[in-house]
Amino acid sequence: MEQLWIKGERRLQGDAFINGAKNAAVAVIPAAILANDICIIENLPYIDDVISLSEAMNELGVKTEFLDRHTLRIDSRNINNFQAVYESVKKIRASYYLLGALLGRYKQAEVAFPGGCNFGVRPIDQHIKGFEALGAEVIVEHGMIRAKADRLIGTSIYLDVVSVGATINLMLAAVLAEGTTILENAAKEPHVVDTANFLNSMGANIKGAGTDVIRIIGVEKLHGSTYMIIPDQIEAGTLMIAGAITQGDVKVCNIIPKHMESVTAKLQEMGAEVIEGDDFIRVRSTGRLNSIHLKTLPYPGFPTDMQPQMSALLSVAKGTSIITESVWENRFQYMSELKRLGAQVKVEGRVAVVEGVERLSAAEVSALDLRAGAAMVVAALAAQGESKITNVQYIDRGYEELEVKLRSLGADIRRVQVSSEKKVPRQRILEPVLEKKII
Ligand code: UD1
């Protein structure tokens, strides 16, 4: 088992280069199934979710191959299996995209109920409602979701909740359907737009992605494409907050500043200095920041995936902050861990009241899920003494070498193997492929 050991109170300073977006990657990779051709996806983050998903694709008969650490070649010409079993998808929430992609291309799919982070009930009723509206029959039994259709026919679908997953999944299912599909009340997240752009690069006809009405005119077939995915707004936001909480000076590079607007606005409201360039944002702070009130919302609102990291920052702000989580019903579980680091927090349903303290103090804390884990890292960077973060595998799901990036900014952080149970180093998974390429 691995842990992250962090000696806090080091001021972070310097440039951090942001990898491709996890949530775009996990949609774009299955989307390549629709091509019946070869796709090359560039700027992928080398994280466990991407590796697990490409392995799950291989089980379907897709051939995935890392050409280098961040580039995946996906050959979807020989798919021979439409079933993704629990064993291969249990770790990835976004495995439900295999459903939309397989259904779209083969009119049949069978995928185990997804795993991923646990912060309350994570229904997929809107995905199912949309598949059915397109003409599929969907049955959920024995932990599997089975979808089948003779034909998929475009139609108008109104999503009852703004759902990133349902919006993307229905785009995947509709691109090869007959006629026009209109998705209303669609999610507007950058990774929704990125997935639409990728599909269009393969010959799809999708308009309106990034607004709440998306129009998909079905085409007969798609072709292969080389596509570079967008930078990760959540990784960027996490490192911006790491800079702010250590009263440092951190420049996150290789990003799209527009995607960061809600985070930038909140940091400014707290009193941090934020300098924006074409493809970077620099965050400087020289003292304790001020408390704020915060509510998570679908894009362009403040992202729920930044809520835990922001709570860590607010736990050392001057004054009382009120945080309202409006996307997930149970996303404050990690507060128990934050309290172990000395934060003063009261949670009542979807609202957390954070009384800022002058200083956090190191403790052993658990990464309860991916972003909760990131929040523990951020908090530990500011805490007095050495913190130990367990369950690092959650952090590895979504951050590529977070500790390496933080170390290069001046953090005292190391990954420590704490028992004889050894994890296969992630680089090794790549070696055979790289060797093959060199030969
Ligand atoms: C995606 C992100 C996740 C992020 C979330 C919200 C990926 C892989 N994951 O998750 O990191 O926290 O968006 O920004 O991109 N809902 C329903 N019925 C449905 C689907 C969703 O009621 O069929 C509800 C959910 O319970 C939740 C809200 O809609 O309250 C938003 O969920 P959704 O946007 O679908 O989240 P994911 O796509 O799973």
Residues 120 and 258 in one domain: no
Q: Is the CB of 94 under 6 A from ligand 1?
A: yes
Q: What is the C-alpha separation between 222 and 32, in angstroms, rounded?
A: 9
The domain that holds 93 is classified in CATH as 3.65.10.10
Residues 223 and 92 in one domain: yes
Q: Within 13 Å and on the Cβ side, how many CA atoms surround 284?
A: 6
DSSP for 275-303, please give it.
Answer: EE-SSEEEEE--SPPBP-EEEB-STTSB-
Q: Is 99 part of any domain?
A: yes
For residue 114, say if its preceding peptide bond is cis, omega within 30 degrees of 0: no
Residues 168 and 289 in one domain: no
Residue 393 CA, ligand 1 centroid: distance in Å: 21
Task: Tell which atom from ligand 1 comes closest to the C-alpha of 303.
Answer: 14
Q: Mean per-residue pLDDT for 247-271?
A: 98
Residues 38 and 110 in one domain: yes
* Both tokens assigned to 303: 């992202």
Residue 116 has pLDDT above 60, yes or no: no
Q: Is 425 part of any domain?
A: no
Q: What is the C-alpha separation between 168 and 185, in angstroms, rounded?
A: 12
Q: What is the C-alpha separation between 30 and 171, in angstroms, rounded?
A: 12
Q: Among 203, 228, 253, which residue terminates a domain?
A: 228
**pLDDT computed for residue 91 by the predictor:** 75
Q: Is 422 part of any domain?
A: no
User: Rounded to the nearest 10 degrees, how much is the dihedral formed by the CA atoms of 344, 348, 353, 355?
Assistant: -20
pLDDT band at 85 (very low <50, low <70, confident <90, very high): confident
The residue whose CA is least distant from atom 39 of ligand 1 is 165
3-class secondary structure, 141: strand
Mutation probe of ligand 1 site: the residue of 48, 49, 129, 163 with most atoms within 8 A of C-beta: 163
Q: Tell me the residue range of the domain where 37 lies.
A: 22-228
**pLDDT computed for residue 118 by the predictor:** 59
Q: Is the CB of 126 under 6 A from ligand 1?
A: yes
Q: Among 213, 228, 243, which residue terminates a domain?
A: 228
> Using an 8 Å Cβ cutoff, are 85 and 113 in contact?
no
**pLDDT computed for residue 236 by the predictor:** 98
Q: Is 352 part of any domain?
A: yes
Q: Is 371 part of any domain?
A: yes
Residues 273 and 400 in one domain: yes
Residue 352 has pLDDT above 90, yes or no: yes
**pLDDT computed for residue 93 by the predictor:** 76
Task: Tell which atom from ligand 1 comes closest to the C-alpha of 164.
Answer: 34
Residues 110 and 251 in one domain: no
Q: Hunting for tokens 């899920």 — which residue is that?
A: 369
Q: Among 170, 196, 228, which residue terminates a domain?
A: 228
**pLDDT computed for residue 94 by the predictor:** 84
Q: Is 437 part of any domain?
A: no
What's the angle, vertex CA 276, arms to CA 274 and CA 281, rounded to 5?
75
Residues 213 and 294 in one domain: no
pLDDT band at 428 (very low <50, low <70, confident <90, very high): very low
Q: Is the CB of 127 under 6 A from ligand 1?
A: yes
Mutation probe of ligand 1 site: the residue of 161, 306, 370, 394 with most atoms within 8 A of C-beta: 161
Residues 169 and 279 in one domain: no
Q: Is the CB of 378 under 6 A from ligand 1?
A: no
Residues 193 and 285 in one domain: no
Residue 349 CA, ligand 1 centroid: distance in Å: 19
Q: Is the CB of 26 under 6 A from ligand 1?
A: yes
**pLDDT computed for residue 179 by the predictor:** 98
pLDDT band at 121 (very low <50, low <70, confident <90, very high): low
Residue 162 CA, ligand 1 centroid: distance in Å: 8
Average pLDDT of every residue of the chain:
93
Task: Tell me the pLDDT tens digit for each residue of 177-198.
Answer: 999 999 999 999 999 999 999 9
Task: Tell which atom from ligand 1 comes closest to the C-alpha of 299.
Answer: 14
Residues 395 and 250 in one domain: yes
Q: Is 428 part of any domain?
A: no
Q: What is the C-alpha separation between 267 and 263, in angstroms, rounded?
A: 6
Task: Tell me the pLDDT tens digit for each residue of 207-232.
Answer: 999 999 999 999 999 999 999 999 99
Q: What is the C-alpha separation between 394 and 91, in angstroms, rounded?
A: 10
Q: Is the CB of 161 under 6 A from ligand 1?
A: yes
Residues 36 and 133 in one domain: yes
Q: Is 436 part of any domain?
A: no
Residue 289 has pLDDT above 90, yes or no: yes
**pLDDT computed for residue 423 by the predictor:** 54
Helices 370-382 and 233-245: angle between axes, nearest 10 degrees: 20
Count of domains for the chain? 2
Query: Which residues are part of the catalytic machinery?
Result: 117
Residue 251 CA, ligand 1 centroid: distance in Å: 30
Q: Is the CB of 328 under 6 A from ligand 1?
A: yes
**pLDDT computed for residue 120 by the predictor:** 60
The residue whose CA is least distant from atom 12 of ligand 1 is 305
Residues 398 and 341 in one domain: yes
